[in-house]
Structure 1
């Protein structure tokens, strides 16, 4: 089978298109013919050596959608999708023609999603779902999502809306504000960090109950924009991993910071998440992904480079 593989880390030149034997599923596993695989920034960081637990050589890739061709009778021939913390890191991932994983680690693909659409959602939607769950977002919550135009941010505002929350989206550019307004979301354009609290107060009197910063750069400002007993969810940090936290303001508000890391969840836990919001797609409660860039896996090296350079397109690799 055709696959992307790296045998060392440090730069993207380590990634190669190779021919590998089709993997053989172990007892209790399924063999999935990959029809589409998402390319996430974490896949690029994996090749660059940002994850110390990655073992080599390795086929990268976390998100996929495909068809079960070996496994338990009740899954044979079924269209499935999946993601999780080991695939692409300590076991071969989805940027290949086939993948094996535990049978309990796949979910049935929603019929409303194409293979490419399903493959685009794993990491963004499980991350957003986890952030909202652990920040206790419900119909009484006022939520601010910073970076709402990104993959995770877009998932977060869609899922928060389904939960009945009041949603405020924060983005950088005026045209992004207009696009979100057209989708029915209240949105603001981010300016100076010291202005964020006033911007939020114009929409949510007293501050936001939950602030989800998908960028890693707004934590100090988010504390000032937080309502009493509010929660701030974070999924990223500056390159050095450090940020100055106004602790006095945080504890005076009774606030808390919630770290969100999708790599804490195995394929089985992720499959249960996919099942839950997968039903929402089939019920027409979540927007279908658009603007995907489908590309043959043989062109994967160029697509990895584009993502590494900050390309905004959601790339889907097709074996």
Structure 2
């Protein structure tokens, strides 16, 4: 089968297009014909060696959508989608023609989503869903999403709206604000960190109950914009991993910081999440993804390089 594979880490020259045998599913597993696979920044970082627990040689790729061709009778011929911490790290991933996974680690694909659309959502939407769930977002929540124009941030805004929260995005540039407005989301343009609390208060007429910082740079400023008993969810940090936290102000508010890491969840846990929010697409409550760039798997090396250089389009590899 056609696949991308790396046998060492450190630079993208380690990645190659190869021919591999079709994998054989073990007991309790399914063989999936991959129809589309998402390319995430974490896939690129994996080849670069940012995840020391990755076993080699390895086919990368976390997100996928495809059809089950071997496995339990109930899943044969079914369109499925999935993601998780194992593919691409501890077992071969989705950037290949075929993929094996535990049968309990796949979810039925929402009918409203094409294979490419489904493959674009795994990591961003499970990350956003986990952040909202663990931060206890509900219909009474005033939710601020910093970096609301990014893949995870836009997913958090969309899911927050479905959950009934009052949602507000925060972006760097006016054109990003205009893009969110076109999708029906209010937003603010970030300025100086000390101005954030006033900007949030002006919109919510009070502080935010939950602040989801997807950028890694706004944790200290978020404390001032946080309501009593509020929660700050984070998925990123500065390069050195350090930040100066105004802990006095945080504990006086009874506030808490929630760390969000999608690589804590195996395929089974992710399948449960996909089932939970996937129904929103079939119910018409979540907009279908647009602007995807579909690319043949044979051009995957070039696509990896583009993502490494900062390309922001969502790239879907088509085996």
State the TM bucket, normalised to the shorter chain.
over 0.9
Deviations 1:123-171 (A, max 9, x none): 0000000000000000000000000111100100000000000000001
- Spell out the pairing of 1:63-82 with structure 2 (5 A cutoff): 63-82=63-82
SS across alignment from 1:140: coil
SS across alignment from 1:74: helix
Shift of 1:252: 1.2
Indicate the residue corresponding to 1:106 in structure 2: 106
Indicate the residue corresponding to 2:94 in structure 1: 94
Matched, 1:212 2:212: yes
| Structure 1: 4+ residue segments shifted above 6 A | none
Deviations 1:191-250 (A, max 9, x none): 111111111110123310000000111101111111111000000011111111111111
Indicate the residue corresponding to 1:132 in structure 2: 132
Shift of 1:52: 1.3
Indicate the residue corresponding to 1:21 in structure 2: 21
CA distance in 1, matches of 2:318, 2:208: 41
Structure 1-normalised TM-score?
0.99
Indicate the residue corresponding to 2:179 in structure 1: 179
CA distance in 2, matches of 1:7, 1:30: 25
SS across alignment from 1:170: strand
SS across alignment from 1:133: helix
SS across alignment from 1:305: helix
CA distance in 1, matches of 2:278, 2:204: 31
Indicate the residue corresponding to 1:305 in structure 2: 305
Indicate the residue corresponding to 1:144 in structure 2: 144
Instruction: Out of 192-201 and 117-126, give the one that drifted further.
Output: 192-201
CA distance in 2, matches of 1:134, 1:41: 23
Indicate the residue corresponding to 1:242 in structure 2: 242
CA distance in 2, matches of 1:194, 1:276: 37
CA distance in 1, matches of 2:242, 2:310: 22
Indicate the residue corresponding to 1:201 in structure 2: 201
CA distance in 2, matches of 1:127, 1:28: 27
Indicate the residue corresponding to 2:254 in structure 1: 254
CA distance in 2, matches of 1:119, 1:240: 32
Indicate the residue corresponding to 1:115 in structure 2: 115
SS across alignment from 1:202: helix
CA distance in 2, matches of 1:136, 1:180: 24
* Structural RMSD (CA): 0.7
CA distance in 2, matches of 1:201, 1:48: 42
Deviations 1:22-60 (A, max 9, x none): 000000000000000000011011011111110000000
CA distance in 2, matches of 1:275, 1:252: 38
CA distance in 2, matches of 1:288, 1:98: 26
Indicate the residue corresponding to 1:168 in structure 2: 168
Structure 2-normalised TM-score?
0.99
SS across alignment from 2:221: helix
CA distance in 2, matches of 1:130, 1:287: 19
Matched residues, number: 319
Shift of 1:181: 1.5
Indicate the residue corresponding to 1:266 in structure 2: 266
CA distance in 1, matches of 2:179, 2:170: 12
